[in-house]
C-alpha cells in the first residue's frame, strides 16, 4: 500500500465568518491510499482555532509513512488503532487517513461503506445550508442564492443576533438552526432561546465556551430550545460529560479522528439518550462523502461543505436542496478530479 498526500486550497464562495474569525480560503489535506487498482481518499481541514495546519498534518503523516504503508489490516479500524499512539495528538491527520482507509476498504470489497456496516439509506436526514455572519443584507442575499432549501444553519455571535433571525424569517418559512460558536453567556442563551423559539428555530448549537460546564448545565435546564454540543464534544471521552448539559452532540470527523471513533461516539450518545448530528468543517466532497456513510445513524446533519466552496476537488455525493444523492462508486464513492 502506498500513501500520497495532496495539499489543496479550497476557495470559498463567500468570506466565511463565524464567532472565531473569517476566512476566504479553506486549506485542506487529501490523503490517498493506493493498493493495486484501488484508490481510497480522505480529508482533513485544519483550522488555526485548533492550532493545526496542513503542514503539521503532512509532517505527522510523513513521520509514520513506513508504519502506514506496511501495516496489514482487513478493516479500517485496525489501521486506526495501530496509528492512534503515533497520531493521537493530530486527530485531523488521523481523520484523513481513516477516511481514506474506509474508502479503500469499500472499493476493495465492491460495496459502499454504509452497506458494509449493515446500514440502509431509505430514510436519512437532509443537510442544512450554512449562512455565515455578515451584514443582515448580505445574509439575506446568501439565503436567496439557495432558495427553497429545507433547513438553514445561521451563524450568530453578534450584537444583532435576534434582529438577523427576525429579518431572515421574513424571507423563508424553512427551518432555522442557529450556531453561536461559543459567543454567548448563559443569560444571553436563555434569553435568546425564548425569542428564537418563536421565530421557528429548531435548536441552538454551542452557545457557551467549551469549558463552561456549570453555566451550560443551567442553559440546558432553562432553555426554551434544545442545545447541541459542538466545541464541547470533540472526542469520545467528551460524550459522557455532555449528557447532562446538552440535548445532543455534533460530531466532527476531523476533531475526533475519523469514522472509526465517530461510530463509537454515536453508539454512546444513543445509550445516553442524546440526539446525534454530524457536521463538516467546510470540507470538499471528499470529506462530506465520508460523512454521508453515517447518515442512517443520524438525527441531523450539516454536510454542506461542497456548497460553500467555489471549486471542488473530487466527485462523490451530490446535494439537491438538502437531499443527499449517493454515487454509484463503492467505498465512500470518491474520485479526485
Question: Which domains does the chain possess?
Answer: 2-110 (3.30.390.10), 116-336 (3.20.20.120)
Structure confidence at residue 13 (pLDDT):
94
- Looking at the predicted structure, is the pLDDT value of residue 38 above 90? yes
Percent of the chain surpassing pLDDT 90? 96
Q: Which helix (H) or strand (E) holds 254?
A: helix 253-256
What is the number of helices (H) and of strands (E) in the chain?
Answer: 14, 15
pLDDT value at position 21? 86
Long-range contacts formed by 199-203: CB under 8 A, 24+ apart: 199/165, 199/166, 199/169, 200/169, 200/173, 200/175, 200/176, 201/165, 201/176, 201/177, 201/225, 202/151, 202/175, 202/176, 202/177, 202/226, 203/177, 203/178, 203/227, 203/228, 203/247, 203/248
Please, which pLDDT band fits residue 19 given cuts at 50, 70 and 90? confident
Q: Residue 68: its pLDDT value, please?
A: 98
pLDDT band for position 14 (cuts 50, 70, 90)? very high
Cβ atoms 291, 114 nearer than 8 A: no
Name the percent of the chain lying above pLDDT 70: 100
Mean per-residue pLDDT for 315-327? Answer: 97
Q: Which residue from 214, 217, 203, 155 is spatially nearest to 183, judged by alpha carbons?
A: 155
pLDDT at residue 48, rounded to an integer: 78
79-134 pLDDT, tens digit per residue, is: 999 999 999 999 999 999 999 999 999 999 999 999 999 999 999 999 999 999 99
Q: Mean pLDDT over all residues of the chain?
A: 97
Supply the pTM of this predicted model: 0.97
Per-residue pLDDT reduced to its tens digit, 182-221: 999 999 999 999 999 999 999 999 999 999 999 999 999 9
Is pLDDT of 181 > 80? yes
pLDDT digits (tens, 9 = 90+) for 49-66: 788 999 999 999 999 999
| pLDDT band at residue 32 using 50, 70 and 90 as cut-offs | very high
Amino acid at each position: 500500500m502506498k500513501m500520497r498526500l495532496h495539499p489543496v486550497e479550497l476557495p470559498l464562495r463567500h468570506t466565511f465568518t463565524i464567532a472565531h474569525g473569517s476566512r476566504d480560503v479553506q486549506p485542506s489535506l487529501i490523503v490517498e491510499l493506493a493498493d493495486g487498482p484501488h484508490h481510497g481518499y480522505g480529508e482533513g481541514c485544519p483550522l488555526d482555532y485548533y492550532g493545526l495546519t496542513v503542514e503539521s498534518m503532512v509532517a505527522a503523516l510523513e513521520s509514520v509513512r513506513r508504519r502506514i504503508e506496511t501495516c496489514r489490516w482487513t478493516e479500517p479500524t485496525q489501521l486506526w488503532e495501530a496509528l492512534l499512539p503515533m497520531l493521537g495528538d493530530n486527530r485531523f491527520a488521523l481523520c484523513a487517513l481513516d477516511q481514506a482507509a474506509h474508502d479503500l476498504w469499500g472499493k476493495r470489497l465492491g460495496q459502499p461503506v454504509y452497506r458494509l456496516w449493515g446500514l440502509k439509506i431509505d430514510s436519512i436526514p437532509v443537510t442544512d445550508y450554512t449562512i455565515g455572519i455578515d451584514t443582515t443584507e448580505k445574509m439575506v442575499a446568501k439565503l436567496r442564492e439557495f432558495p427553497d432549501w429545507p433547513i438553514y444553519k445561521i451563524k450568530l455571535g453578534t450584537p444583532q443576533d435576534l434582529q438577523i433571525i427576525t429579518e431572515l424569517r421574513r424571507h423563508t418559512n424553512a427551518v432555522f438552526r442557529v450556531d453561536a460558536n461559543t459567543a454567548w453567556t448563559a443569560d444571553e442563551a436563555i434569553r435568546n432561546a425564548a425569542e428564537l423559539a418563536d421565530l421557528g428555530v429548531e435548536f441552538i448549537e454551542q452557545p457557551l465556551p467549551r469549558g463552561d460546564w456549570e453555566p451550560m448545565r443551567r442553559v440546558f435546564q432553562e432553555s426554551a430550545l434544545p442545545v447541541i454540543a459542538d466545541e464541547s464534544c470533540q472526542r469520545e471521552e467528551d460524550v459522557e460529560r455532555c449528557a447532562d448539559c446538552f440535548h445532543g452532540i455534533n460530531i466532527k470527523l476531523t476533531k475526533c479522528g475519523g469514522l472509526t471513533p465517530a461510530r463509537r461516539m454515536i453508539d454512546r450518545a444513543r445509550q445516553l439518550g442524546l440526539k446525534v448530528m454530524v457536521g463538516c468543517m467546510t470540507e470538499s466532497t471528499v470529506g462530506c462523502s465520508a460523512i454521508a456513510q453515517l447518515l442512517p445513524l443520524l438525527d441531523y446533519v450539516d454536510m454542506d461543505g461542497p456548497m460553500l466552496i467555489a471549486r471542488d476537488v473530487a466527485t462523490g455525493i451530490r446535494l439537491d436542496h438538502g437531499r443527499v444523492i449517493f454515487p454509484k462508486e463503492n467505498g465512500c464513492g470518491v474520485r479526485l478530479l
